Protein backbone atom coordinates (compact mmCIF):
# COMPACT_ATOMS: atom_id res chain seq x y z
CA UNK A 1 0.00 0.00 0.00
CA UNK A 2 2.71 2.42 0.99
CA UNK A 3 4.78 1.59 -2.07
CA UNK A 4 1.94 2.08 -4.49
CA UNK A 5 1.15 5.41 -2.88
CA UNK A 6 4.75 6.48 -3.32
CA UNK A 7 4.72 5.43 -6.94
CA UNK A 8 1.51 7.33 -7.51
CA UNK A 9 3.02 10.42 -5.88
CA UNK A 10 6.15 10.09 -7.98
CA UNK A 11 4.09 9.78 -11.13
CA UNK A 12 2.15 12.89 -10.23
CA UNK A 13 5.26 14.91 -9.50
CA UNK A 14 6.88 13.81 -12.75
CA UNK A 15 3.76 14.87 -14.56
CA UNK A 16 3.89 18.29 -12.91
CA UNK A 17 7.59 18.64 -13.65
CA UNK A 18 6.93 17.79 -17.25
CA UNK A 19 4.17 20.31 -17.80
CA UNK A 20 5.10 23.34 -15.70
CA UNK A 21 8.84 23.69 -15.35
CA UNK A 22 9.09 23.81 -11.59
CA UNK A 23 12.25 24.66 -9.68
CA UNK A 24 14.00 21.41 -8.84
CA UNK A 25 15.16 20.90 -5.25
CA UNK A 26 18.82 21.77 -4.61
CA UNK A 27 19.70 18.12 -3.89
CA UNK A 28 18.48 17.13 -7.37
CA UNK A 29 20.28 20.01 -9.05
CA UNK A 30 23.45 19.14 -7.17
CA UNK A 31 23.23 15.51 -8.26
CA UNK A 32 22.54 16.43 -11.88
CA UNK A 33 24.89 19.38 -12.36
CA UNK A 34 27.55 19.51 -9.68
CA UNK A 35 28.30 16.09 -8.17
CA UNK A 36 30.41 15.03 -11.17
CA UNK A 37 33.12 17.46 -10.00
CA UNK A 38 32.27 18.37 -6.42
CA UNK A 39 31.15 14.87 -5.39
CA UNK A 40 27.78 13.80 -4.00
CA UNK A 41 29.22 14.47 -0.54
CA UNK A 42 30.78 17.85 -1.45
CA UNK A 43 34.32 16.64 -0.87
CA UNK A 44 35.30 16.85 -4.52
CA UNK A 45 36.89 13.44 -4.47
CA UNK A 46 35.76 12.49 -7.97
CA UNK A 47 38.03 11.85 -10.91
CA UNK A 48 37.28 15.25 -12.44
CA UNK A 49 37.19 16.96 -9.05
CA UNK A 50 40.67 15.79 -8.19
CA UNK A 51 42.00 16.82 -11.57
CA UNK A 52 40.53 20.31 -11.22
CA UNK A 53 41.49 20.50 -7.54
CA UNK A 54 38.08 21.47 -6.25
CA UNK A 55 37.76 22.36 -2.60
CA UNK A 56 36.42 20.14 0.16
CA UNK A 57 33.16 21.75 1.25
CA UNK A 58 32.97 19.60 4.38
CA UNK A 59 36.06 21.45 5.65
CA UNK A 60 35.02 24.30 7.95
CA UNK A 61 38.21 26.23 7.13
CA UNK A 62 37.35 26.12 3.42
CA UNK A 63 33.81 27.30 4.11
CA UNK A 64 35.04 30.12 6.34
CA UNK A 65 37.09 31.58 3.51
CA UNK A 66 34.12 31.80 1.15
CA UNK A 67 31.35 34.36 1.39
CA UNK A 68 27.79 33.68 0.26
CA UNK A 69 28.31 36.28 -2.46
CA UNK A 70 31.35 34.44 -3.77
CA UNK A 71 29.45 31.16 -3.86
CA UNK A 72 26.52 32.78 -5.61
CA UNK A 73 28.77 34.48 -8.16
CA UNK A 74 30.75 31.30 -8.88
CA UNK A 75 27.60 29.30 -9.60
CA UNK A 76 25.96 32.09 -11.58
CA UNK A 77 28.85 33.23 -13.77
CA UNK A 78 31.28 30.32 -13.44
CA UNK A 79 34.92 30.20 -12.39
CA UNK A 80 37.82 31.13 -14.64
CA UNK A 81 41.54 30.95 -14.18
CA UNK A 82 42.85 33.52 -16.60
CA UNK A 83 41.20 32.59 -19.89
CA UNK A 84 40.68 28.98 -18.89
CA UNK A 85 37.23 27.97 -17.70
CA UNK A 86 37.39 25.86 -14.54
CA UNK A 87 33.66 25.72 -13.99
CA UNK A 88 30.94 26.82 -16.35
CA UNK A 89 28.29 29.41 -15.59
CA UNK A 90 24.95 27.96 -14.55
CA UNK A 91 22.76 31.03 -15.07
CA UNK A 92 21.46 29.55 -18.32
CA UNK A 93 20.63 26.18 -16.70
CA UNK A 94 19.30 27.15 -13.28
CA UNK A 95 17.00 29.88 -12.05
CA UNK A 96 18.13 32.51 -9.52
CA UNK A 97 16.13 30.71 -6.84
CA UNK A 98 17.75 27.39 -7.66
CA UNK A 99 21.21 28.96 -7.47
CA UNK A 100 20.41 30.59 -4.11
CA UNK A 101 19.17 27.20 -2.87
CA UNK A 102 22.44 25.62 -4.01
CA UNK A 103 24.45 28.16 -2.00
CA UNK A 104 22.56 27.03 1.10
CA UNK A 105 23.04 23.42 0.03
CA UNK A 106 26.84 23.89 -0.29
CA UNK A 107 26.89 25.41 3.21
CA UNK A 108 25.25 22.29 4.61
CA UNK A 109 28.20 20.09 3.67
CA UNK A 110 30.19 21.66 6.47
CA UNK A 111 30.32 19.22 9.34
C1 LIG B 1 33.49 20.69 -14.47
C2 LIG B 1 33.53 20.53 -13.01
C3 LIG B 1 32.58 21.35 -12.18
C4 LIG B 1 31.21 21.31 -12.16
C5 LIG B 1 30.29 20.46 -13.03
C6 LIG B 1 30.80 22.26 -11.15
N7 LIG B 1 31.89 22.85 -10.57
FE8 LIG B 1 31.88 24.21 -9.10
N9 LIG B 1 33.85 24.50 -9.30
C10 LIG B 1 34.68 23.73 -10.09
C11 LIG B 1 36.02 24.24 -10.00
C12 LIG B 1 37.24 23.66 -10.71
C13 LIG B 1 35.98 25.35 -9.12
C14 LIG B 1 37.13 26.24 -8.67
C15 LIG B 1 37.81 25.59 -7.52
C16 LIG B 1 38.98 26.36 -7.04
O17 LIG B 1 39.43 27.28 -7.71
O18 LIG B 1 39.43 26.03 -5.95
C19 LIG B 1 34.59 25.48 -8.71
C20 LIG B 1 34.14 26.44 -7.83
C21 LIG B 1 32.87 26.45 -7.30
C22 LIG B 1 32.40 27.38 -6.29
C23 LIG B 1 33.18 28.57 -5.70
C24 LIG B 1 33.81 28.24 -4.42
C25 LIG B 1 35.09 27.51 -4.65
O26 LIG B 1 35.11 26.31 -4.38
O27 LIG B 1 36.07 28.12 -5.09
C28 LIG B 1 31.13 27.03 -5.98
C29 LIG B 1 30.21 27.66 -4.95
C30 LIG B 1 30.79 25.92 -6.84
N31 LIG B 1 31.87 25.59 -7.61
C32 LIG B 1 29.57 25.29 -6.83
C33 LIG B 1 29.13 24.48 -7.86
C34 LIG B 1 27.75 24.10 -8.07
C35 LIG B 1 26.61 24.47 -7.15
C36 LIG B 1 27.72 23.35 -9.21
C37 LIG B 1 26.51 22.77 -9.91
C38 LIG B 1 25.46 23.69 -10.27
C39 LIG B 1 29.09 23.23 -9.70
N40 LIG B 1 29.91 23.93 -8.85
C41 LIG B 1 29.48 22.51 -10.82
C42 LIG B 1 34.30 22.65 -10.88
C43 LIG B 1 33.00 22.32 -11.17
Structure pTM? 0.85
Which residue's CA lies nearest to atom 41 of ligand 1? 34
Bridge partners of 81? Answer: 84
For residue 77, tell me if it sits in a domain: yes
For residue 10, tell me if it sits in a domain: no
Residues with C-beta less than 6 Å from any ligand 1 atom: 33-34, 36-38, 48, 52, 54-55, 66, 71, 74-75, 79, 86-87, 90, 102, 106
Query: What average pLDDT score do residues 46-74 get?
Result: 97
Q: What are the pLDDT digits (tens) for 26-40? A: 999 999 999 999 999
State which residues form the domain around 102: 24-107
Q: What are the pLDDT digits (tens) for 65-78? A: 999 999 999 999 99
Q: How confident is the model at residue 111 (pLDDT cuts 50, 70, 90)?
A: confident
Tell which wins on pLDDT, 16 or 4.
4
Question: What domain count does the chain have?
Answer: 1
For residue 5, tell me if it sits in a domain: no
- 53 C-alpha to ligand 1 centroid (Å): 10
Under DSSP, the state recorded for 87 is E
For residue 2, tell me if it sits in a domain: no
Give the CATH number of the domain where residue 59 resides. Answer: 1.10.760.10
Shortest CA distance to 60 belongs to which of 4, 108, 5?
A: 108
For residue 14, tell me if it sits in a domain: no
Residue 61 has pLDDT above 90, yes or no: yes
Amino acid sequence: MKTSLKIAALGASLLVAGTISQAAPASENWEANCAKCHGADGKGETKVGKKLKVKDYTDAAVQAKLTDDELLKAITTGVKEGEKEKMKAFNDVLTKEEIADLVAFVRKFKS
